[in-house]
Each structure stands twice: as C-alpha cells, then as structure tokens.
Amino acid sequence: MSLNVRPMRYEDLDRVCRMEEENFSMPWKREDFEKLIEDAGSRYFVAEIDGYVIGAAGYTDMVGDGYINNVVIDKEYRGKGYSKKLMEAVIESGKETGIYDYTLEVRVSNLPAIRLYEAVGFENAGVRKGFYDQPKEDAYVYWLRIPRRN
C-alpha cells in the first residue's frame, strides 16, 4: 500500500467534504474547496491509497507566504505517518511557485497535529488567544521557513 499525493479535483469534493465534516467542528463547505481548485493562488492536495482518498492538505498564497489549510487524515488511516508524507509533498510543491515560508494555526490541545507540524520543521511562534470557536480555544501560531537555494 503506497501513498500517492496529487492535486484535488472536482470529483474528490464529496469525499473531501465528508472527511472535513467528520473531523472539524466548523467544517468548510463544498464552495470553499471549489475555490481552492479554482483560485490560482491556492494548491490543495489529496493523499490516496489504491485510488481511495484518505487525506487532504494544502496552502493558499498569502502575499508570498503559504497559509496551510485543513490538514486531515481519515481516522482509520492515522498513526501510519501518512500525514507527514502528505505535508512534505505539499511543502515540496510550494517550491515550484516560489513559496518557502509557511504559517498555520493549530488548537493548543491538538497534540497529533502539533507533533506532525514540528516533525516537518514548523516552529512555534506564539499564541493567538481565543482564536477558535466551538469550543473556544487558543491557537498556537507556527512558521516554517525553508532556506532558499539560488
């Protein structure tokens, strides 16, 4: 079983929306994901095993920085390191568009996500108080800055 990471397509939207609803208390809607396909400044990827989508992640170009969007791995496929491979592929793809700096927020209680982000090189840059709703919670702000090669 090997993991394949590729850009999200319209036919993935049902599956991606389902994962979103199962894993986030304030899930993005279908239109939000459609925008990620259509917006030239966004890249969003799915991870699949034998053609079955088991995860998703991507970024939006925010004036030269990559803002990481909605990282998710289906519950049944967690604990296998797939999210790390997915995030590494996302970050690698950014180099094609000149993105070397990434930022994200994560709930302070979300240890699996924090471990993942730190494993791919993100560093904690502080706290945004009360950033999240449902439930109300602080966010850690993380940054990854990849050295540029000329």
Ligand X SMILES: CC(C)(COP(=O)(O)OP(=O)(O)OC[C@H]1O[C@@H](n2cnc3c(N)ncnc32)[C@H](O)[C@@H]1OP(=O)(O)O)[C@@H](O)C(=O)NCCC(=O)NCCS
Cα–Cα nearest to 51, from 15, 23, 75:
15
64 lies in the binding site for ligand X (CB under 6 A): no
State which of positions 20-39 bind ligand X (CB under 6 A). Answer: 23
CA separation for the pair 60, 51 (Å, rounded): 25
Output the six-digit token pair for 96. Answer: 């094609």
Question: Closest distance between ligand X and the C-beta of residue 130, in Å?
Answer: 16
Among 62, 63, 82, smallest CA distance to 72 is for 82
Is 144 a residue that touches ligand X (CB under 6 A)? Answer: no
Listed ranges 35-43, 73-81, 90-98, 127-135: which one lies at the site for ligand X (CB under 6 A):
73-81
Please tell me the distance from the alpha carbon of residue 22 to that of residue 72, in angstroms, as a whole number.
10
Q: Is residue 69 close enough to count as binding ligand X by CB under 6 A? A: no
Residue numbers of the site for ligand X (CB under 6 A)?
23, 71-73, 78-84, 106, 110-113, 115-116, 119
